[in-house]
Amino acid sequence: MQAFKSKYTDYILFPSLVLLTASFPLPIAYNSIFSILLFTVFLVDLGNMKTNLSLYFSNTRNILLLIIFLALLLSIFYSDDKKAAMKGILAALPLLSLPLAMTTANSLSLRQIDILKKVFVFSCLITSLIYFVQTGIRIGLFDGSYRFKPVSSAYQSSYLVYNLTYHQLTPSIHAVFFSLYIAFAVIILLFSFEWKNRLAKILQALMIVYFLLYLIMLTSATINFALYSFIIACIFFKYSFKKLSHYFLFFGLIIIGTAITDYLLVVKYIGPNIGDIIYRFDSPSINQKIAVSFAAVILTGAVAIIIKLIAKKNYKWILAGSFLIVLLAGSFYLNNAVDTKTRSDWKLNNISVRANYSAEAFRIIKKHPLLGVGIGDKKFKLIERNLALGDNRYIEFGESTKPNDIFNPHNQFLDFWIDAGIIPVICLLLFFINQFSKAIRYRHTIYMGLLFCFCLFCFTDRALMVQRGQIFFLFFICLFEIELERKKVR
């Protein structure tokens, strides 16, 4: 029986996992096919079905995801649009099916898990190179037919840098999700791969630099901020700051991370949608905000180091309390800023659109705090506007938005709350607490990195209700829990 299980894992299950891992950066059809293949492999393993189901229900993570799914399922009964609600439930199915299918992977070896990590990194590398070449050919970058034209219109710029950024650079996948994949690939390269010879280390450094540059071109401020802040945090907790090199690396990364994040936020703020990806530093007020942000983060870093050196064992609790105070103060400030501005004050851009969505989401939640309004409701059902304005009555959510679009608050917590009430929000919070506690307890760095990046992503998008996000995230979460179990056995 053990020999059969080993052959099943090596020749059926593991190849299926390799195909699924390699498919994440590819067009969505491949990911769908290999996800179905993995679930089929799970169903074929009939001899271990009882054991796998027992493993599924014994895991707190799976119970929380199951409650979220059931809450969404029940919300169909009071949703105004049953057809859209059914589509929403189908989109939520991986919350149930993926963790269930991954129970059959419990027999993976540590070597096989390491191979899956490497497959993911090299899949991201190869796919990103293909996308870059495709984009370069499409815009005439390689044959000399492209010409610089310094003229931009509302949503499209003819600058070369625009044509090589954002969705233009990822024709088969949303740029933000591809940013998440690349950020995670960087975390794996930094904290999981162990290169023994000099050439391998050089190749590792080149891949990291390449991925970081690619991340900038994809223009996701959230993912860039998440990646750099996580790396900076790792350095802070790892180093003793008794050497000058520790300070250079720590503050150097703070300056680089702040510069990149600030710049991406600015180009999203100044443009009608994502801007032309060029800011010429010609606005005194924006320049002042950039200077203040640099001063704030450098001062924060210096204070954190002083607390660490003075408080020693208690510095984590002091920093945690300080962080919560700053977070509450920042939330109060942002909420006050949104309340005091009228809609006419907001310039139509990426940031203002998300602020408007959040404001409307809280208004809806205040009316339906316990059960929400049901999954799949359209804008015109949830947001009251002057009907005389026609399709333009939702202009503050972007020029292309229409009344019949599904309401998307660009926040997973708010999305669950609107769809099915407070229960799935509580379960999602408990889910992240459960996962972070495991990653921190066993000091699994890339596990923590994935959780941190994805958790921040959930504050700016419906990451767990989109296949690109949920299957990728749940797959690696399950994989890392299996890895922890294998290491405990050893």
Higher per-residue pLDDT: 85 or 120: 120
Q: Is the pLDDT of residue 222 over 90?
A: yes
Per-residue confidence band for 283, with pLDDT thresholds at 50, 70 and 90? confident
**Per residue in 30-86, pLDDT tens?**
999 999 999 999 998 888 899 999 999 999 999 999 999 999 999 999 888 888 889
pLDDT of residue 410: 86
- Kindly report the three-state secondary structure assignment for every residue of 301-361: HHHHHHHHHHHHHHHHHHHHHHHHHHHHHHHHHHHHHHHHCCHHHCCCCHHHHHHHHHHHH
By the 8 A CB rule, do 217 and 164 touch? yes
The tokens 């390269």 sit on which residue? 189
Could you read off the pLDDT of 323-376 as tens digits, one per residue? 777 666 666 665 665 555 555 455 666 677 777 778 888 888 988 899 988 887
Q: In this predicted structure, what is the pLDDT of residue 3?
A: 59
| Residue 146: predicted pLDDT | 62
* pLDDT at residue 95 in the model: 95
Whether the predicted pLDDT of 305 surpasses 90: yes
* CB-based contacts of 358, cutoff 8 Å, min separation 6: 338, 409, 410, 411, 414
Most confident option among 4-13, 97-106, 330-339, 383-392: 97-106
pLDDT of 156 over the 50 cut? no
CA–CA separation, 21 and 476 (whole Å):
9
CA pair distance 330, 67, nearest whole angstrom: 32
Give the three-class secondary structure for 118. Answer: helix
Mean pLDDT for the stretch of residues 183-209: 90
CA distance 222 to 180: 9
How far apart CA 431 and CA 39 sit, in angstroms, is 23
- CB-based contact 97:39 (threshold 8 Å): yes
Residue 390 to residue 411: CA distance in whole angstroms: 27
Residues 6+ apart with CB under 8 A from 452: 226, 229, 230
CA distance 65 to 429: 11
